[in-house]
Homo-oligomer: A and B are copies of this chain.
Amino acid sequence: MKILLVEDDPLHRSYLREAVNAALPECHAIFEADNGIVGERMARDHKSAHIIMDLQMQTRNGIEAARTIWKERPDTRILFWSNYSDEAYVRGVARIVPDGAAFGYVLKSASEERLKLALRSIFIEAQCVIDREVRGMQQKSLGQAKGVNDIEYEILIDIALGLTDRAIAARRNLSLRSVQNRLQQLYEKLGVYQTSQDGHDGRFNLRARAVAVAFMRKLINYNGLERSEAELSEWLNTN
């Protein structure tokens, strides 16, 4: 068995290397990449079937890399190893995992024991392993209770990118009014409203405020926004 490590931080990389050696004696070769681009290339060259992937890397993040890898060979098993359980990351991963693929999501704060267990579960048993904390996040994403559903999430991204209602309507093939409807759903879900109804001074610009609270609730984050921006500029060009 060969394993490919894609991880920025040399410290974490060597920690992973040791964990793999300890937990997977059947692994006889470890390859390492220190960013997403190299990771993709090595995965292709070595036809890697077992990958451990960091999510936030400077040059190319783990979600992008995983997507292209899975596009080429959907049965690749990938263990995501991340510092955070931001909803934005969880959504990002959930969006790209192919049907039936084995993958895992373990936090860097997990104990060594848990990491080793996850390694065996995924790479030997082909089971999906998802950290408890991440799991909680996932439930919240899917169930709508207090969570933001896909439609609302989509429009959240659009306003976070700074689009006007009209542009969103064009992009999503909706009428102007529908866009505004969805915006109101979103505002409600995020608990955003013009405070101090007493006077006439709405303190918050709802649109901007919604983005702010989404950001603070980690519904969106830097990497997610960057990805969305890339999609947007693509759309802008063809339109």
Which residues of chain A have a CB within 8 Å of any CB of chain B? 9, 11-12, 15, 83, 108, 159-164, 166-167, 170, 192, 195, 201-213, 215-216, 218, 221-222, 225-226, 229, 236
A208 contact set on B, CB distance < 8 A: 159-163, 207-208, 211
* A167 interface neighbour in B159, B203, B222, Cβ under 8 Å: B203
> Nearest residue in B to A159 (C-beta to C-beta)?
B208
> Nearest residue in B to A221 (C-beta to C-beta)?
B222
> Nearest residue in B to A218 (C-beta to C-beta)?
B222
Instruction: Report 10 cross-chain contacts, Cβ distance below 8 Å, ordered by A residue.
Output: A160-B208, A161-B208, A162-B204, A162-B209, A167-B203, A205-B207, A212-B225, A215-B225, A216-B226, A221-B222
Q: How far is the CB of A155 from chain B (nearest CB, A)?
A: 12
Known A15-B11, A229-B216; contact A164-B211, beta-carbon cutoff 8 A: no
A201 contact set on B, CB distance < 8 A: 164, 166-167, 170
Cα separation A203 to B232 with both chains bound (whole Å): 11
